[in-house]
Amino acid sequence: MTTPAVAVVDSKTPGNVGTIARAMKNFGMSELLLVDPPEGTQEKHSEAWGFAGRAREDVLANAKEVDFDYLVDNYYTVGLTATTNEDCRKHVRFPFFTPDELADDLAGLDADACLIFGREADGLTNEELSKVDAVCSIPASDDYPVLNLGQAATITLYELRGLTVEETQLPDREHERAEEAMLDRLYDQFDDLLDSIDHPEEKRAKTLRMARRVFGRAHPTQREARSLLGIFRRATNHPELASVARDPADRDEPGEATGQDD
């Protein structure tokens, strides 16, 4: 699919238009459509201009003013609403996508799509929602389910980033776990450390298992494991460690005198 357009309907606050333009640039979108925007929204040094950040000279400056029917006639339209308050017997605000579900739906769409955000106070009217192809709502606490316009747009556009931002643009987050040989050396060195501090023999096996589980959950990288190995090695060879008195925490707690496993 093509990158979705974003429309803002009858915003009362220019700053929210700027905030949405900025979120669009954050997540790889550029086509901004404005329905009845506040006067001067796209002028330099306006409130919207200030809130838009680096999106001001492309996304905001190139925004096109249109009417609502233009959106309906030219796009697969998705109306964003805070609350649905309806069930399967009614079809103005139900059924609805959550933003992550919307991402899956749009991924397989062979049409131009437009996300439509409504007014700050009351969103899109039922008449407007009756004209759109789909509805999207952000699940939130029943105590306070209504998000402000800028928040709702940012959350939704973030969930759609997989459709708009190439993987090559994203930071490499691949986590390469240390090789097992390195981790085995780490565990051996930790065992040597326990020996050097005269850790109670009856607790040794249990402590080693604990360390293995902790490092197993952490999935240390090769560099992290190597650094820890060096620290354990230096601690083991420290000349003062042998004379360090046993910590009171090493004493058997009630129920541990047998040294049985937990």
pLDDT in tens, 67-76: 999 999 999 9
Domain spans of the chain, in order of start: 5-169, 180-250
- Mean predicted confidence (pLDDT) in 101-111: 88
- pLDDT of 137 higher than 60: yes
pLDDT mean over 175-179: 81
Q: Is the pTM of this model over 0.85?
A: no
- The count of residues in the chain is 262
Q: Angle, nearest 10°, between helix axes 180-196 and 222-237?
A: 20
| Residues 28, 165 contacting (CB under 8 angstroms) | yes
Q: Is the peptide bond before 95 cis (omega within 30 degrees of 0)?
A: yes
User: Which of these ranges, 88-92, 146-150, 157-161, 256-260, has the smallest mean pLDDT?
Assistant: 256-260
Task: Tell me the average pLDDT across 195-210.
Answer: 90
pLDDT tens string 7-66: 999 999 999 999 999 999 999 999 999 999 999 999 998 999 999 999 999 999 999 999
Mean pLDDT value across residues 88-111: 77
Domain covering 5-169 in this structure, CATH number: 3.40.1280.10
Query: 192: part of which helix (H) or strand (E)?
Result: helix 180-196
Instruction: Reduce the DSSP state of residue 78 to 3 states and report it.
Output: strand
